[in-house]
Chain A
Amino acid sequence: MAFFELIPEEQLPPEAKEYIEIVKKRARSDRAADTFYVLAKNPRLVKAWVQAYQELIPIPNRFGTAQGIAGMLIAHAKGCRVCFDTSRKFLVKLGFDDAALDNMCQAPAALPLAERERRFVEFTLRAARDPQGLKPGDFREMERAGFSKDEILEMIGVAAYWNLATTLASAVDAGLREE
């Protein structure tokens, strides 16, 4: 028996329901990830998560598909099955095949992307995995590669968001697994 239970759609507290509807709309799905239904008894947790999702991973966003690839690779690096599966579904909907995505996970340093997208993914992955390892020169290098300061701020926001999401989702997922 799992430790956490899923709150049925019809029993969601109104405030949690409002935020879960946003997630469903973004995913163009009639169901959000199970994690949201577990946290729904505590609407302020759902609110904080969904607001971060909305503001840090906006739709549309200027990095397009690369945003989804960054999410998949961060989730892969952090071992978050829920975020990994969600990102994969999104990328498959966009036309990527599983073999190509598997290759990206195995060799994230050799992504078959345009230079600008590749740099976006690499910087974001690095900021998510090892922000302490960032050096002043890394920012100048991104600027020389053509990224504005606003874009670099956004990349940090993407990395930060995925740290929030992978921690929440992987922990709640462990509490949803059968013993």
Chain B
Amino acid sequence: MAFFDLPTDEELSPEVRQTLEEYRRLQGREQVIPTWRAYGRSPKIVGARFTAWQNLHFQCRFPWEARNVAVMLIAHAKRCQGCFAGARFQLDKLGFDAATLDGMCANPEALPLKERDRLFVHYALKMATGSADLQPKDFREMAAHGFSKEEIQEIIAFAAYWTMNMVFTQSANAALADE
């Protein structure tokens, strides 16, 4: 038996139900995913997580395709199966085939993307997996590649969101698994 149970719609507050529904709609899914519904009894968590998702991921100015490739690779690096599957779901809708995506995971430094998108993914992955190792020269390098300061801040925020979200997703998946 799993430790967490998934609250039904009737058990959710109207505010949480509306937020989860909006998340589902923007994701283009048929149902609210379990790793979000599992937190449905905590309006604070759902609210904070959704606001972060909207502002740091959904409204991020880099292309949707590049963002989802970045999520897939961050999830792959951090072994977050839920986020990995979510990114693959979005990339599948965009027309990527599984072999191409597997190739990206196997060799993230040689992504078949436009150069600017490839660099976005490279830096997002670097920030999500080792933000404490960043050096001032990394920022000059990003600027030399044509990223503005505001864009670099967006990459940082995007990476930060995913490090947060993976804690929610991986914890929920563990608590939803049968013992």
A residues in contact (CB < 8 Å) with B: 2-4, 38-39, 41-42, 44-45, 47-49, 51-52, 54-56, 58, 78-80, 127-128, 131-132, 134-140, 143, 149-150, 152-154, 156-157, 159-161, 163-168, 170-172, 174-175, 177-179
Contacts and interface: CB of A to CB of B under 8 A. Distances in A.
B70 interface: no
A42 to B, nearest CB: 6
Interface residues of B, number: 58
Q: Which 5 pairs, one residue from A and one from B, show the smallest C-beta to C-beta distance?
A: A79-B132, A131-B170, A164-B164, A174-B134, A55-B48
A13 to B, nearest CB: 12
B52 A157 contact: no
B83 to A, nearest CB: 11
Contacts of B169: 131
Given A55-B44, A55-B45, A132-B79, A160 B153 contact: no
Q: Tell me the dominant secondary structure on chain A's binding face.
A: helix
A167 B49 CA distance: 16
A81 to B, nearest CB: 8
A171 B134 contact: yes
A3 B139 contact: yes
B3 A140 contact: yes
B139 A45 contact: no
A135 B3 CA distance: 10
Interface string B69-94: 00000000011100000000000000
